[in-house]
A and B are shown apart, each in its own frame.
Chain A
Amino acid sequence: MAEIDQSKIRNFCIIAHIDHGKSTLADRIIEMTGLLTSREMQSQVLDNMDLERERGITIKAQTVRIIYKAKNGEEYIFNLIDTPGHVDFNYEVSRSLAACDGAVLVVDAAQGIEAQTLANVYLALDHDLDVFPVINKIDLPSADPERVAHEIEDVIGIEAMDAPRISAKSGLNVEQVLEQIVERIPAPEGDPDAPLQALIFDSVYDSYKGVIVFCRIMEGTVRRGTPIRMMATGAEAEVVEVGYFGPGQFLPCEELSAGMVGYLTASLKNVKDTRVGDTVTNRDKPCAEPLPGYKKVNSMVYCGMYPADGAKYPDLRDALEKLQLNDASLRYEPETSVALGFGFRCGFLGLLHLEIIQERLEREYNLDLVTTAPSVIYKVYKTNGECIELTNPTNLPDPAEILYMEEPVVSAEIMVTTEFIGAIMDLCQERRGNYLGMEYMEETRALLRYELPLNEIIYDFFDALKSRSRGYASFDYEMKGYQQAPLVKLDILINKEEVDALSFIVHADSAYERGRKMCEKLKGEIPRHLFEIPIQAAIGSKIIARETVKAMRKDVLAKCYGGDITRKKKLLEKQKEGKKRMRQIGNVEIPQKAFMSVLKLDDK
């Protein structure tokens, strides 16, 4: 490729609340710039993990380079950086934004501004991005683009009267968006001859090329053979290949210079060496300072993951290792449970991240997993002055040694239509929320601010929020810090034996309720045995709830004749197969799914 004119480059992202049409608009832009014909277009090109398409969310940042011939006759290079759309991946979002010079804000013409719209806009403005709005889904019967334009001006304070009114689905007015990208998003700056300074905004592992680093070149130039160094991790290597992003493929090129977005490979074996947010520089001619904003992301939620079949432990270890190659935010370390045997305590950015990893382990690596209840990290201050960070409830020290405990809290913003304010406030109250304030966005909508303990939202808060607002409430949160709370460890005893994998930390006030629900749920999951089985919930030595699984009385087939021997044998086999998938605790057999079912203690 010939010399690239920096002034003809536009690096941008699309930001939106979930379901407002971000990926659809991205698809349309790619299609309209002629990169792919609509026949080749698989819907939502950028979400290429099966899981992403199914859930309609973006998990990994994706990037594509397209050529647009503008109405002024000039050709422009667009680098569209698709960002993950979930609060769990906030840090990744912020790094992707840092790689851009501007953002297209997509707002649903019917729903208007939602919690994530605001969160994303503020994030973009924090990064000094030029943001221009686009009002999408104007073909919906309930669309009200004028109202939404006013809302954008009133609430966010950016000019929106001439925002393109589009339908990303049908392609209507999408060319206006392309023109505005040219006009309203600034060209990148930077000196191609300065020392190399490039921002890593993502990386993936490829079994042939090693780690592929996605980066935005801020200053300088990088090409094959450039000796590089990661400024935070200190990893060094020599560049093997540089290139840019075609749709679904990597296209090698000569060099990447200031203002460009592309990838580099350098025989790096581990994504841990190429952390998102780190700065790549020239080893021999380093830049003076790394780019600002690098931080090591920390796990917020932990849980135990065990192979259902104990013999698959090495497979689980290998699978986690492979996933970690691509996902530096995944933590794991081996642990042992009396009930579940050998497994791993894994750390995640949030509950969605946990679910995604769990699903990928099960689908892509064909593993059958038992997962323990997710837990946040508690700080336990001991009488001897020590402070431990507790990720596994089983490791809670003896209560006599504990001075006090702290739990993580988040500040949450909930956007809701006024009719549901009462219901949502009740919910936050139940979840030990601390009311901070409320602002009216317009007459019918308000933004509620709460401080909430993280362990109250990691289970089913989002579901409860949706069900109590008939789907209208939206939610966003960020970590705030730690606060002291009266927390207790709830143990579950089955046939008088404590089952470590079922223990969890809970606020003292909700211990009784949770204990009762756990026992009820387990009663339905544990099959009847030859003897009666008590199921108890206890705090220390105090039993707070009890249920009983009655002894088995009758289980016999009245008939079995010549024609149905095969069928009856299958039934017996099923019974025996079922036993194999059980965990033996004392002389009680507990099905694997009993461990999982307690994660879903319905509120209603």
Chain B
Amino acid sequence: MKKPLSLYIHIPFCVRKCAYCDFLSFPADAREREQYLDALICEIRTFAPSVADRTVVSVFLGGGTPSLLTETQLKRLMDAVYAGFSLQSDAEITIEANPGTLTAHKLFCLAKMGINRLSLGLQSARNEELRLLGRIHTYEEFLDTYRLAGEAGFENINVDLMSALPGQTFAAWQETLERVAALSPAHISAYSLMIEEGTPFFETYHEEDEKRRRGEATALLPDEDTERKMYRWTDQFLREQGYVHYEISNFAKPGMECVHNIGYWIRREYAGFGLGAASLLEECRFTNTTDRNAYRKQGRSAQKVQKLTEEDRMEELMFLGLRMMSGVEKKRFLAKTGVPVHKPYGDVISLLRSQGLLEEDEDYLRLTARGIDLGNYCMAQFLL
């Protein structure tokens, strides 16, 4: 069997930057988008032959807002992908989209070019929260897009949501989640809002966030207890609705888990294309430049390479693998590293188990509910 590979393609454009967003994205004019696409396709063409021996099991068009590209641009991009790589027949091909950037026609085109999964950035079902976040759409516009996507034949749709927004009450979060669950999408990602440096939210809420980290009362952000209550209720409610909680922030109908993202957590190889995109190939991590001009002129040659050591591999298998509810499969760890997991991590495992943060059965190691709450503490222990 050929080695499996995932492809990530980064489209760094958006209509405007949201107040909480720290991704590599920015508004750009039509000319810049077209130039970028040329460079991107060139990168794909040049690189593709080097992984001719791999089978592509997933493709992910992320951003930014990839759905901002025109039908023609998306077609050129997908043609380059099909021409360059050998895709498995049932490969998962996802595009991220913002409500309001998709028309019925564009959705039909996406479906026609083989894209079979849609990830919609909704974030909230309440318009006042959408305004606060700086989103470009309303909940009603999302409902339209969602309906049109169904009509275009999309069955595998993810809806991105965010909890713990400034001023959000527990009841407000319940309302968002209940409305969305009622639509019964195949997949829901429910993230707790992180206050990231370099965003307008950081300026406004950073001090509050620091207070919250110290366990003090907060006025602008939901406090720790409320935030954890939201998280636990999300888990309980979505399970009642027939979803599987398979990663810290991800829920899916059985069998609809995201093939692409699971790849990151189990360290499947991936090749990233576009500005700032990362790849994991042959135990090296490559990171493309984040400089627009350098990327346009030099493409993949302006990239950083980090050779991963055996220790890096073990650490990553643990701190990524433990994000999954099923945990880290001990046999797989052995197969990937050649050593049983207890050899490097015996002490850490018994410490975390004694603290009630980790559980172990015959085949798996996984975080407990409290272990997930304190995920960073647990994962940091696995650094060698």
Contacts and interface: CB of A to CB of B under 8 A. Distances in A.
Interface of A: 524, 528, 530, 549-566, 568-569, 571-573, 575-576, 579
Given A528-B215, A558-B191, A561-B261, A566 B306 contact: yes
Nearest to B193: A558
B320 A553 contact: no
Interface in B195-246: 213-215, 224-225, 227-228
A553 B215 CA distance: 8
Interface string B152-191: 0000000000000000000000000000000000000001
Contact of A555 (B287, B319, B323, B375): B375
A563 B276 contact: yes
B278 to A, nearest CB: 5
Contacts of B224: 553-554
Contacts of B376: 555-557, 571-572, 575
Contacts of A550: 214-215
A552 B8 contact: no
A568 B194 CA distance: 13
A576 B376 CA distance: 10
Identify which of B6, B213, B265, B379 gathers the most chain A CB atoms within 10 Å of its CB.
B379
A491 B96 CA distance: 59
A524 B215 CA distance: 11
B276 A554 contact: no
A561 to B, nearest CB: 5
B327 interface: no
Contact of B272 (A562, A572, A575): A562
B52 interface: no
B374 interface: yes
B57 interface: no
Contacts, number: 99
Given A556-B376, A563-B277, A565-B278, A573 B383 contact: yes
Contacts of A556: 248, 372-376
B249 interface: yes
A477 B264 CA distance: 67
Contact of A558 (B215, B249, B316): B249
Contacts of B191: 558-559
B374 A572 contact: no
B329 interface: no
B28 interface: no
Interface string B1-13: 0000010101000
A528 B214 CA distance: 7
B379 A572 contact: yes
Nearest to A563: B278
A568 B315 CA distance: 12
Nearest to A552: B374
Nearest to A531: B355
| 4 A-B pairs closest in CB distance | A556-B375, A550-B215, A558-B191, A572-B380
Given A555-B376, A572-B379, A561 B287 contact: no
Contacts of B276: 563
A565 B264 contact: yes
Given A550-B215, A572-B379, A560 B323 contact: yes
A553 B376 CA distance: 12
A562 B215 contact: no
B192 interface: yes
Contact of A557 (B194, B214, B280): B194
Given A558-B249, A565-B316, 5 more contacts: A551-B215, A555-B213, A558-B191, A576-B380, A576-B381
A549 B263 CA distance: 39
A552 B370 CA distance: 10
B323 A569 contact: no
Given A555-B376, A556-B373, A575-B376, A565 B285 contact: yes
A598 B119 CA distance: 51
Contact of A554 (B227, B263, B285): B227
B285 A566 contact: yes
A279 to B, nearest CB: 61
Nearest to A524: B214
A561 B373 contact: no
Identify which of A551, A568, A572, A579 gathers the most chain B CB atoms within 10 Å of its CB.
A572
A142 to B, nearest CB: 40
Contact of A575 (B227, B228, B316, B380): B380
A182 B219 CA distance: 73
Contacts of A568: 319
Contacts of A566: 278, 285, 287, 306
Contacts of A559: 191, 194, 249
Given A563-B272, A573-B383, A558 B287 contact: no
A572 B318 CA distance: 12
Nearest to A530: B355
Contacts of A571: 376
